[in-house]
Amino acid sequence: MLYDLIEKLCALPGVSGCEDAVREAILQQIRQDCTCKVDALGNLLAFKKGARRPGKTILLSAHMDEVGLIVTSVEENGLLRFSTVGGIDKRTIVGRAVQIGKTPGVIGCKPVHMRTSEEKDKAVPLDGLYIDIGAKNREEALSLVSLGDRAVFISHYCEMGDGYLRGRALDDRIGCALLVELAKSPLPYDTWFAFTVQEETGCTGAITAAAQVCPEIGIAVETTTACDIPGVEEGRTVCKLQHGPVVSHMDRGTLYDMKLYARALEIAQARGIPCQTKEGVYGGNESRSVQVAGSGAQVLAVSVPCRYLHTPSCVAHRSDIGHTLALLQALVEELGA
């Protein structure tokens, strides 16, 4: 069920600002188990009645959006100019197949044999890239797409090796699937869930979601960069696959509540759940938005380690996803007391 849902959610388009399909799929999964509300921004807020009221209001959040592209203009020859939505390494997208609504395309640039020696040593700048949808001119292109349309990468989801998952938008459809699994399960305490919009472009959705719930404890369920690959020196790997969920003490957006951080590690150890600390101050997530919304909240980030984040082919491992679910279940039980 969990892994089927991850695959289903990864197949849906949901570039920031256009998360509707993802939200509808999640809503269909949890509407019988939770009291649900979609706010004006597009966040899906869900309240799950537990066996008891918690000592502190708990909110678990995961973002529905993914990185992608947005069409900004159309050339007279029918080629589309675009900007990135969220943090994308331009080196990873040349030649990639994309989908704009029902229209397929490919990201192109000047052929390598036409580039200067200096150009060959550098990533192609954004203004040197375009999307080719096979249109013969601007008029035909605009009959198929509109300015502001989002483009998603076409990437075949699959399992590979022993328990590895590969697919687009594992960040953060894994987190969404984990929250769905919790929301459909019996819980010891009343719990709030927020499936948020526009995390990749500034964590906007989490601000309004947290302001409505006013949690005292917020847990961002995320993925985070695993650099356990050749060429990265020990101590700079950030985290590793098959070492369990990642708990952060600080990133570029948030200083986490140290008591909550220590408590999470204690709970993991007591229950025999493999767990790791994020090694270094990198990246960020919507924890800061939850932390500062309303009267503020203690926040914690629990992340699944993931290689090749923000590319068309993210890689995660089943064992880390399963152990993250176990830790989240334990946190709801322990922190709700």
Residue 11: which region, alpha, beta or left (left: phi > 0; alpha: psi -120 to 50)? alpha
- Strand 314-317 and strand 164-167: the pairing is antiparallel
Which of these, 204, 183, 164, lies nearest to 35 by C-alpha position? 183
- Distance separating alpha carbons of residues 249 and 224, to the nearest angstrom: 13
Q: Is 199 a catalytic residue?
A: yes
Q: For residue 320, list its beta bridge partners.
A: none
Catalytic residue, from 66, 199, 200, 286: name it.
199
- Contact (CB, 8 A) for 331 and 276: no
CA atoms within 13 A on the CB side of 58: 28
CA distance 215 to 266: 22
Degrees (nearest 5) of the Cα angle 216, 173, 102?
135
Taking only Cα atoms into account, the Rg of the chain, rounded to an integer number of angstroms, comes to 21
Nearest to 198 by CA among 44, 288, 65: 65
Identify whether 33 is preceded by a cis peptide bond (ω within 30 of 0).
no
Across the strands, what pairs with 184?
Answer: none
Q: Give the catalytic positions in this structure.
A: 199
